[in-house]
Amino acid sequence: RQGIGLRKLGKTADEFQQDLLSNLYYRRGTTVESASARDAYEALAQTVRDHLAERRARTAAAQFASNPRWVYYLSAEYLLGAQLEQNLLYSGTGDLAAEAVKALGFGLEDLEDLDVEPGLGNGGLGRLAACLVDSLATRDIPAVGYGIRYDLGIFRQVITEEGQAELPDDWAFHGNPWEFPAPDDRQAVGFYGHTEPIPGSTTRKVWVPGEVVLGEPSHMLVPGFGTETVNIIRLWSAKASEASFDLSRFSAGQYAEAVQEAVRAENISKVLYPDDSTELGRELRLKQQYFLVSCSLRDIVRRFRLRNEGWDTFADKTVIQLNDTHPTIAIPELMRLLVDEYEVEWEQAWEITRRTFAYTCHTLLPEALETWPVRMFEKLLPRHLEIIYLINMLFLREVEARFPGDHDRLRRMSIIQEDPERRVRMAHLAVVGTEAVNGVAELHSKLLRETVLDDFAALWPAKFQNVTNGVSPRRFIKIANPRLSDLITEGLGDDSWVGDLERLAGLERLADDASFRERWQAIKRANKVDLAAGDPDSLTDVMIKRFHEYKRQQLKLLHVITLYQRIRQNPAADWVPRTVLFAGKAAPAYHAAKDIIRLIATIAARIEADPVVSPYLKVVFPSNYNVTLAERIIPAADLSEQISLAGKEASGTGNMKLALNGAVTIGTLDGANIEIRARVGEDNFFLFGLDAYEAARARINGYQPRHFYERDEELRAAMDTLTSGVFGEVGRRVADSLLGWDEYLTLADFRSYLECQEQVEKSWRDPARWTRMSILNTAHSGFFSSDRTVADYAARIWRVAPVPVPRED
Ligand code: 26Q
């Protein structure tokens, strides 16, 4: 097959134009004269996709030839964001494209509006997966991300009189131009059924599944920035097998029954669970998890076997990173494949498995640690339960040998929880079956070792690591904030900072340059004008994240109510005008979180209608927060609200995106806030509230929210307003929950927060000072690039090196 040359893709404006035109005619069957915006969009997407596909082909060849250790990232969620702009940037075809579509009578922006974001994730964890695969490709690391191709992504949020309502997100309605179907690589996944012993073997078993579902992969291209590498994420879609269509029932006119089994099978990848903490004990969720795991592991094993190497090299050629416990069944599944299907001895299989996996934990909330009822496991995955029991027995033997007679320790550490019902503890399985366990920020990793996983840290101290999260500088500055990007490039002399974010430190010297500061400030203002959320000269105060009580949107609301009351009492004073912007979704079944959304809408309307207060205070709630909206809000933010109760937010990544774009943080000593503050400097960060140890102690010492209510007049006034019912029943419910128990110590931190906000206003009144703080935040946030995060994983956990892809000749 040698000597066959590829027709080169257009590299000049004329050639690119030609390619675009070909796609318009031959793929869309449309003429230039009759092309709609959608025709133009589809033709452009095809043209850009071809550029990436060509690189992809070279990448696959180069990576296969180097026979590296592969990184496989397993994640139930990928929150990728819109693809067109990123792909234009990464393929270097942005300018060509702008010119070419202009000739068709369209602007690039019009076409970008048609580019739908695949919302295949809930929030932080899914977005982190997207940033990490971006940086893996940027660092030339051979990697595949595995996930689920949900037909319906995270729901579309609409705000009504009753608060949040949810609509289905049929993201691929118009088709998805960025996807490459690979039906030949489909896999069969078993569920239910029973196991049978194999005569003469104590460890091997035959699993006879009761149901078989097909997994069909398609991939999305993941280009690296400033490199030739194009990796992929492989997303599995559930398909009923032919046999599940009941032709005899159909012939008998029982149409619904005829397809019942097929519908059941295909429901597995129908919809993303819209919950970002717990969705207790749903069988379909466990099915999704096993579906992802089984398809992906068979694909990984298939790829390994292409080389005909012995199993003893499997872990040298494979590392599988588990994005939280959601894909943890991969541990017993690999054991099952090795022991039952490939007849590897249990001890060798266990060694391979442990050396292959690593686990990232993303929480500290005890209720967010996944457990599954043993009964459910037994029914759905009978063979996996047997394997888990065996793993647990051998593990507890190890514990017993180290801590003889310590029965309480055995009970605490067991993979099986006994009371009040028998459940499988996925985090314990993940720690036992992996070589490395990491938290996602310094404090988080430390608290993991000291609290939820303390027994495991005592047994295996070397297993526990920290890898602080990071974000993609391409998506969250270069693309989201073009004005600031251009100024940074000018200030630093070149644009190498986009792929080497620590270079932002060079901006430090410009923080004292008055003309640079003025340009910086003018850009913030222009971004606010674009966002059109409020007066561009007001302090734009943003809290953008999922709604959860621990994140404490309630605390921000108490601040708003207090400002409202202060302004009413003294309308003539010199108030700092503020626009408070909230955005985020609540899990549909999380009523307390939805109450808070409704309360925000109520208070926003009340302020809007008040002529005394509205000149100084505005509350806005743009609906349907997603990656695309984040890219518009973040560049316009002055103040970044990171006010979770210390010890609850594992890391946060929105905090990094905002700091990078020159928003100043007001925050607690929680998650990555601590590391942000250490880097940007105490003077450029507004700190308030209890620390994690003080918070834990307060709870132990019998914390009483009423104590704070009684001693703080303004707090009492704000709470009484809620209780009075002027903001409706929701106001009452929120107040009752705070006064009754206040799980997240909102009232305890209220005064400290308000005083800190006064410091914010003092700084804001001095624009030179504020702008200096803003510049220094950007200058010292280079550490929070996901390129650095990936470099950390590569060096300390994966032990992998880059495989550069040669340029096209
Ligand atoms: C689990 C079982 C059943 C149904 C849903 C889930 C589920 C789904 C999503 C549980 C958790 C999630 C997502 C969690 C998440 O986004 N965590 C965030 O991860 C970020 C990246 O590390 C951190 O920055 C945040 O601090 C953390 O909250």
Q: Confirm or reject: Cβ of 277 under 6 Å from ligand 1.
A: yes
Task: Give me the catalytic one of 428, 444, 546, 648.
Answer: 546
Which of 74, 78, 120, 125, when mutated, tests ligand 1's pocket best, judged by the most ligand atoms within 8 Å of its CB? 125
User: Relative to the CA of 325, which ligand 1 atom is closest?
Assistant: 1
Structure letter (DSSP) for residue 4? P
Beta bridge partners of 179: 220
User: Relative to the CA of 127, which ligand 1 atom is closest?
Assistant: 21
**Among 428, 537, 505, which residue's Cα sits nearest to residue 776?**
505
Residue pair 555/517 in contact (Cβ under 8 Å)? The answer is no
Q: Confirm or reject: Cβ of 276 under 6 Å from ligand 1.
A: yes
The pLDDT tens digits for 589-607 are: 999 999 999 999 999 999 9
SS3 148: strand
Q: Confirm or reject: Cβ of 650 under 6 Å from ligand 1.
A: yes
Structure letter (DSSP) for residue 339? I
SS3 434: coil
Q: Output the CA 190–ligand 1 centroid distance in Å.
A: 27
SS3 235: strand
Give the H or E element holding residue 10.
none
Q: Confirm or reject: Cβ of 316 under 6 Å from ligand 1.
A: no
Whole-angstrom Cα distance, residue 488 to residue 778?
10
Q: Output the CA 421–ligand 1 centroid distance in Å.
A: 25
CA distances from 718 to 535, 554, 594, 746 (A): 26, 11, 20, 13
Q: Output the CA 275–ligand 1 centroid distance in Å.
A: 8
Give the H or E element holding residue 543.
strand 539-544
CA quadruple 339, 340, 341, 345: dihedral sign: positive
The structure tokens listed for 58 are 């070279």
Which of 120, 122, 643, when mutated, tests ligand 1's pocket best, judged by the most ligand atoms within 8 Å of its CB? 122
DSSP characters for 97-131?
Answer: HHHHHHHTT--HHHHHTT----EE--SHHHHHHHH
The structure tokens listed for 657 are 């995106």
Residue pair 659/777 in contact (Cβ under 8 Å)? The answer is yes
Q: Confirm or reject: Cβ of 651 under 6 Å from ligand 1.
A: yes
**Among 534, 527, 498, which residue's Cα sits nearest to residue 608?**
534
Ligand 1, atom 9, residue with closest C-alpha: 276
SS3 323: strand
Task: Give me the catalytic one of 186, 383, 478, 551.
Answer: 551
User: Relative to the CA of 126, which ligand 1 atom is closest?
Assistant: 16
Report ipTM (2 d.p.).
0.98
Whole-angstrom Cα distance, residue 139 to residue 792?
11
Task: Give me the catalytic one of 657, 677, 772, 780.
Answer: 657
What is the amino acid identity at position 702? G
Task: Give me the catalytic one of 59, 325, 468, 653.
Answer: 653
Mean pLDDT of residues grouped by 10 in the chain (809 residues)?
A: 84 96 97 96 98 98 98 98 98 97 95 98 98 98 99 98 97 98 98 97 96 98 98 98 92 96 96 88 95 99 98 98 98 98 98 98 93 97 98 98 98 97 98 98 98 97 98 98 98 98 98 98 98 98 98 98 98 98 98 98 98 98 98 99 98 98 99 99 98 98 98 98 97 98 98 98 98 98 99 98 94
Look at residue 276 in the predicted model and tell me its pLDDT.
84
Look at residue 323 in the predicted model and tell me its pLDDT.
98
Residue pair 337/301 in contact (Cβ under 8 Å)? The answer is yes
User: Relative to the CA of 282, which ligand 1 atom is closest?
Assistant: 3
CA distances from 384 to 82, 148, 319, 379, 538 (A): 38, 21, 21, 10, 58
Backbone angles phi, psi at 198, to 5 degrees: -110, 120
Ligand 1, atom 25, residue with closest C-alpha: 652
Q: Output the CA 326–ligand 1 centroid distance in Å.
A: 10
Ligand 1, atom 13, residue with closest C-alpha: 276
Question: Could you give the count of Cα atoms lying within 13 Å of 798 in the half-sphere of its Cβ?
Answer: 27
Provide the whole-model pTM. 0.98
Give the H or E element holding residue 517.
helix 514-531
**Among 634, 681, 656, 652, which residue's Cα sits nearest to residue 785?**
656
**Among 586, 583, 567, 585, which residue's Cα sits nearest to residue 575?**
567
Q: Confirm or reject: Cβ of 469 under 6 Å from ligand 1.
A: yes
Look at residue 280 in the predicted model and tell me its pLDDT.
75
- Where does 281-414 have alpha helices with state H? 283-305, 314-317, 330-336, 346-356, 374-380, 382-402, 407-413
Q: Confirm or reject: Cβ of 275 under 6 Å from ligand 1.
A: yes
Whole-angstrom Cα distance, residue 141 to residue 127?
19
Q: Confirm or reject: Cβ of 185 under 6 Å from ligand 1.
A: no
Task: Give me the catalytic one of 362, 552, 559, 585.
Answer: 362
**Among 404, 704, 488, 727, which residue's Cα sits nearest to residue 597?**
727
What are the chain's domains? Answer: 67-81+117-468 (3.40.50.2000), 510-781 (3.40.50.2000)
Whole-angstrom Cα distance, residue 509 to residue 626?
35
DSSP characters for 613-672?
Answer: TTTTEEEE--SS--HHHHHHHGGG-SEEEE-PPTTS-S--SHHHHHHHTTPEEEE-S-TT
Q: Confirm or reject: Cβ of 670 under 6 Å from ligand 1.
A: no
Q: Output the CA 358–ligand 1 centroid distance in Å.
A: 17
Look at residue 4 in the predicted model and tell me its pLDDT.
85
Q: Output the CA 167–ligand 1 centroid distance in Å.
A: 21
User: Relative to the CA of 280, which ligand 1 atom is closest?
Assistant: 3
Q: Confirm or reject: Cβ of 584 under 6 Å from ligand 1.
A: no
Ligand 1, atom 24, residue with closest C-alpha: 652
Q: Confirm or reject: Cβ of 273 under 6 Å from ligand 1.
A: yes
Ligand 1, atom 4, residue with closest C-alpha: 279
Ligand 1, atom 1, residue with closest C-alpha: 278
DSSP characters for 734-785?
Answer: HHHHHHHT-TT-HHHHHHHHHHHHHHHHHHHTSHHHHHHHHHHHHHT-GGGB
Helix 553-569 to helix 746-764 angle, to the nearest 10 degrees? 60
**Helices and strands in the chain, H and E counts:** 33, 25
Q: Confirm or reject: Cβ of 671 under 6 Å from ligand 1.
A: yes
Look at residue 1 in the predicted model and tell me its pLDDT.
66
User: Relative to the CA of 469, which ligand 1 atom is closest?
Assistant: 22
Q: Confirm or reject: Cβ of 279 under 6 Å from ligand 1.
A: yes
Q: Confirm or reject: Cβ of 28 under 6 Å from ligand 1.
A: no
Q: Is 769 noted as a catalytic residue in this protein?
A: no
Q: Output the CA 276–ligand 1 centroid distance in Å.
A: 5
The pLDDT tens digits for 99-119 are: 999 999 999 999 999 999 999
The structure tokens listed for 49 are 């996709």
Residue pair 469/656 in contact (Cβ under 8 Å)? The answer is yes
CA distances from 571 to 406, 608, 757, 764 (A): 67, 15, 19, 20
Q: Output the CA 650–ligand 1 centroid distance in Å.
A: 9
- Where does 542-641 have alpha helices with state H? 553-569, 591-608, 627-633
Q: Confirm or reject: Cβ of 653 under 6 Å from ligand 1.
A: yes
Q: Is 594 noted as a catalytic residue in this protein?
A: no
Q: What angle do CA 115, 116, 117 make, to 5 degrees?
A: 120
Tokens 């920020």 correspond to 441
User: CA-CA-CA-CA torsion for 286, 288, 291, 296, nearest 10 degrees?
Assistant: -110
Look at residue 334 in the predicted model and tell me its pLDDT.
99
Q: Is 317 noted as a catalytic residue in this protein?
A: no
**Among 353, 295, 224, 263, which residue's Cα sits nearest to residue 76?**
295
Ligand 1, atom 12, residue with closest C-alpha: 276
Q: Confirm or reject: Cβ of 131 under 6 Å from ligand 1.
A: no
What is the amino acid identity at position 501? L
Tokens 């990123």 correspond to 86
Residue pair 240/261 in contact (Cβ under 8 Å)? The answer is yes
Q: Confirm or reject: Cβ of 124 under 6 Å from ligand 1.
A: yes
Q: Confirm or reject: Cβ of 128 under 6 Å from ligand 1.
A: yes
Ligand 1, atom 8, residue with closest C-alpha: 276
Task: Give me the catalytic one of 287, 298, 463, 545.
Answer: 545
User: 702: left (phi > 0), else alpha (psi -120 to 50), else beta?
Assistant: left
Q: Confirm or reject: Cβ of 180 under 6 Å from ligand 1.
A: no
Beta bridge partners of 152: 271
Residue pair 545/654 in contact (Cβ under 8 Å)? The answer is yes
Whole-angstrom Cα distance, residue 390 to residue 147?
28
Look at residue 573 in the predicted model and tell me its pLDDT.
98
Q: Output the CA 362–ligand 1 centroid distance in Å.
A: 6
Q: Confirm or reject: Cβ of 382 under 6 Å from ligand 1.
A: no
For residue 581, give every residue at least 6 positions away whose Cβ sits within 8 Å of its Cβ, in sequence order, or none. 533, 534, 540, 541, 542, 543, 544, 619, 620, 621, 622, 633, 637
Q: Output the CA 327–ligand 1 centroid distance in Å.
A: 13
Average pLDDT, the chain: 97
Residue pair 651/715 in contact (Cβ under 8 Å)? The answer is no
Whole-angstrom Cα distance, residue 487 to residue 40?
32
User: Relative to the CA of 360, which ligand 1 atom is closest?
Assistant: 22
The structure tokens listed for 274 are 């819209």
The structure tokens listed for 363 are 């929480």
Whole-angstrom Cα distance, residue 453 to residue 465?
12
Residue pair 331/424 in contact (Cβ under 8 Å)? The answer is no
Backbone angles phi, psi at 269, to 5 degrees: -105, 25
Residue pair 664/770 in contact (Cβ under 8 Å)? The answer is yes
Q: Is 585 noted as a catalytic residue in this protein?
A: no
CA distances from 167 to 76, 176, 273 (A): 21, 20, 13
Look at residue 83 in the predicted model and tell me its pLDDT.
98
Q: Is 362 noted as a catalytic residue in this protein?
A: yes
